[in-house]
Structure formats: structure tokens, C-alpha cells
Amino acid sequence: MCIAQVTAKMIAYFNGDVPRINHALKVYGFASAIARLENLNKQMLDIVDIAAVLHDIGIVNAEKKYNSTAGNYQEIEGPPVAKALLKEYELSEEIVERVCFLIGNHHSYTKIDGIDFQILVEADFLVNIFEDKMSRNAIDGIRQKYFKTTAGKTIFDQLYSS
């Protein structure tokens, strides 16, 4: 499996929706950097990379079915799309299931149960803070509440320290 192939599938799936493609690529960039700085093993790197690229893949069906981009609808719709996109690759069932779990819960922060999940959440916040033009109070609260990895905290501070 090559992350470039999964990325190409995501780009094709989003069919010219440049803001969503850019969002996925930015989250992937941060997640990939954090994962490598945290010295994750090869399997965990694959999980983080794939989940980051595909984390919002459910947004298209969420809009179609629910007329909403809300996180809970993305979590419902994302895993089946991800599973279908990944079926042609020789990935273990364990990797596919974990990627789908992360995609299906990436807005449910109380369910964070591992370093891969933690990194995905941190990377998504690093991008969303900028894209959503969050307030200083919101930014400070996110740093305190959700950032746990050393690399994620360092990147956060370099981007958003007051």
C-alpha cells in the first residue's frame, strides 16, 4: 500500500472540491509529521497516514443524506466509504478496521484510545483552528484540553502561541 494511491483516491472522490481536498492534505501533513516525531512503528504510521487522508471522507454522503456536514454524520457515513476505497489494497483487516474506527469517531474526543487517535485529533485541530478562525480563548482551551503528544504540543505552540 502506498499513501500516494490512497491520496489519489481521496482527491478523485472529492471530485474537484478543493477546500476539502486541501483540508485532508493539511491534516495528513501534520499527522504524518507528529507520528514520525513520536516514533510510531510502521503499522501505526500506516494507520495514521490513511486515517488522516480519509478522515472527512464521510462528509459527501452526510450532505446528501442529512443536508449537514456535522461531525456526527461524518462519523456515520465515513467508515463504509473508507472501507470501499481501501478494499483493493493489500491491507490487513486489523489496519482497515482501525482506520475505519478512527474515521468513525474522530469528532468523539472522549473515545480517544491510542496514540494514533490522539495524533489524528491533534492534526485536525491544528488545521481547523486556522480554517475556522477560532478565538484566542477557544485556541487556548483546545491546547489545554486536547493536546497530549510532545510533537503536537510543539507544533501547536509554534503556530498559535500568543
Dump pLDDT digits (tens) for 5-29.
999 999 999 999 999 999 999 999 9
**CB-facing half-sphere around the CA of 13: CA atoms within 13 A:** 24
- Residue 9's pLDDT is 97
Band (131; pLDDT cuts 50, 70, 90):
very high
Domain 3-160 has CATH 1.10.3210.10: yes
